[in-house]
Structure 1
Amino acid sequence: MQSFSSDGVDIAYFDTGAGEPVLCIHGFASSAHVNWTYPGWVDALTKAGRRVIALDNRGHGASAKLYDPAAYHTTLMAEDARALLDHLGIGQSVVMGYSMGARITAFLAQRHPDRVKAAIMGGLGIKLVDGVGLPETIAEALEAETLDAVTDPQGRMFRAFAMQTRSDRRALAACIRGSRNLMTREEAATIACPLLIAVGTKDSIAGPPEPLAAIVPKAEALSIPERDHMPAVGDKVFKAGVLDFLARNGV
């Protein structure tokens, strides 16, 4: 992992492959490698002739750990992604995000339309604008004394995941409290680039993709059959759909 400073916050990233760039933004409690390397995305994209850039969001992986929820507003994390493009001298890129990373992708595309050639949102559908995907009770699960003390099933899942990835649970708790930011329907309707919205058919966190696709002018929905939120990340239908979307849109 390399690193750079985004307005004083150290952000770690990797940059591999050659060709048209794809900037990848991971989900909550994950990291660049956990979200994109291990499920086979880096391999699939580089084999397709793409340059793959992925960052560890603030509070995650090898990036700086912050403990004020206000430091995790989605607009700030979108600026980290934009700053990474600046750091690498990339004017415009395809941007792909999963879950929280999809929310960051949407904010980046809406706020900086000149920087996003096309966008892919995985694991986030209508809850971009209508409710938020992850409940704040996950913060309480992360702060609990032990995993056994967590009774909420969703809280247990993320607490166990954070332990598996050896994450800073206090930083993640601040992140979940600060990053659950909605975009208005009017703002979503101004996203001008081609957009693929991919959600597992058993995903209870994201909300369905079709209602959001109906709001964004150049959006299309992709259902990932029989997949819940976590397993959908590396699904072959998701990968094939992304490669087809990029080819059809000439990006």
Structure 2
Amino acid sequence: MPSFHNGAVEIAYLDEGEGDPIVLVHGFASSKNVNWVYPTWVSELKKHNRRVIALDNRGHGDSSKLYDSEQYSIGAMAADVRALLAHLGIVRTDMMGYSMGARVTAYIAYSHPELIRSAIFGGLGIGLIKGGGPGENVALALEADSLDDVTDPVGRTFRAFADQTRSDRRALAACLRGSRRLMTNEEAAAIKVPLLIAVGTTDEISGSAQELQKVIAGSEVLDIPNRDHMRAVGDRVYKEGVLDFLSRRP
């Protein structure tokens, strides 16, 4: 698997297929494989003549593990993505992020819109501004000696997932504490790139897609029926909606 360095941080990535590029940014406690390869996003996009680039965010997958929460700001992770684009010589790209990855995508769409041809926020609605999702309860669950010591139900879910994926739990706890920056209403409203907001209809983590649509003028909403935050990732409606959106973007 190829990798490159953004300063002292090594970032692992994949780069497959030919055609217009799309960059995929995974969610918290996931990885490029868990979020994009195993649910067949990479193969599906390649079938539709796309060059697919997906990275492991710092602290995740095969990328560098860091233990200082200040090294996990959304801005720092967005800088890793921009460095990857520069490393690959990509001037402009479509970009899809899921959950935390959608926060990273939103940050780039706001601060460096010249890099973004279109954006997809998967698993993130008004939570971009109002917050929600895993908090200190999850960080403490990740740091617990054993899953048996975790009583918080949300913490148990994330801890079990981290154990299943054999993640570095200390790095994930630091990431969670460092990546909680929310966008202001004004920052989100300043996003002008073509945007699709895709959220499961039973997702209690992302916040309302329709409420975020009211903030970001011209954005579109894709409801993923009967899917929660975890199960929406590989859903067929999600994939078909994204492919349709990409086929229509300028």
TM-score range, shorter chain: over 0.9
Kept in 2, the 8 Å contact 1:26–1:98? The answer is yes
Give 2:211's aligned amino acid: P
Q: What is the TM-score of this pair, normalised by structure 1?
A: 0.98
Q: Which residue of 1 aligns with 2:72?
A: 72
Determine the C-alpha separation between the residues in 1 that align with 2:221 and 2:63: 32
Q: Which residue of 1 aligns with 2:81?
A: 81
Q: Which residue of 2 aligns with 1:166?
A: 166
Cα distance, 1:4 vs. partner?
Answer: 0.6
Determine the C-alpha separation between the residues in 2 that align with 1:149 and 1:80: 35
Give 2:232's aligned amino acid: A
RMSD, aligned CA: 0.8
Cα distance, 1:43 vs. partner?
Answer: 1.1
Q: What is the TM-score of this pair, normalised by structure 2?
A: 0.98
Q: Which stretch has the larger CA shift, 127-136 or 28-37?
A: 127-136
Determine the C-alpha separation between the residues in 2 that align with 1:7 and 1:221: 37
Q: Which residue of 1 aligns with 2:58?
A: 58
Cα distance, 1:133 vs. partner?
Answer: 2.5
Q: Which residue of 2 aligns with 1:222?
A: 222
Kept in 2, the 8 Å contact 1:132–1:180? The answer is no
Listed one character per residue, the Cα deviations across residues 158-188 of structure 1 (whole Å, up to 9, x for unaligned) are: 1011011100000000000000110001001
Is residue 204 of structure 2 the alignment partner of residue 204 of structure 1?
A: yes
Q: Which residue of 2 aligns with 1:97?
A: 97
For structure 2, list consecutive stretches of 5 or more residues without a partner in the other structure.
none
Cα distance, 1:8 vs. partner?
Answer: 2.1
Is residue 25 of structure 2 the alignment partner of residue 25 of structure 1?
A: yes
Q: Which residue of 2 aligns with 1:149?
A: 149
Q: How many residues align?
A: 250
Q: Which stretch has the larger CA shift, 213-222 or 41-50?
A: 213-222
Determine the C-alpha separation between the residues in 2 that align with 1:211 and 1:90: 33
Determine the C-alpha separation between the residues in 2 that align with 1:121 and 1:136: 24
Q: Which residue of 2 aligns with 1:44?
A: 44
Determine the C-alpha separation between the residues in 2 that align with 1:135 and 1:127: 13
- The 3-state SS of whatever aligns with 2:71 is helix
The list of structure 1 runs, each at least 4 consecutive aligned residues, that deviate by more than 3 angstroms after superposition, is none
Percent identity over paired residues: 62
Q: Which residue of 2 aligns with 1:6?
A: 6
Determine the C-alpha separation between the residues in 2 that align with 1:58 and 1:64: 6
Give 2:10's aligned amino acid: D
Kept in 2, the 8 Å contact 1:29–1:172? The answer is yes
Determine the C-alpha separation between the residues in 1 that align with 2:34 and 2:161: 11
Cα distance, 1:131 vs. partner?
Answer: 1.9
For structure 1, list consecutive stretches of 5 or more residues without a partner in the other structure.
none
Determine the C-alpha separation between the residues in 2 that align with 1:190 and 1:75: 17
Cα distance, 1:246 vs. partner?
Answer: 0.7
Q: Which residue of 2 aligns with 1:242?
A: 242
Determine the C-alpha separation between the residues in 2 that align with 1:197 and 1:209: 6
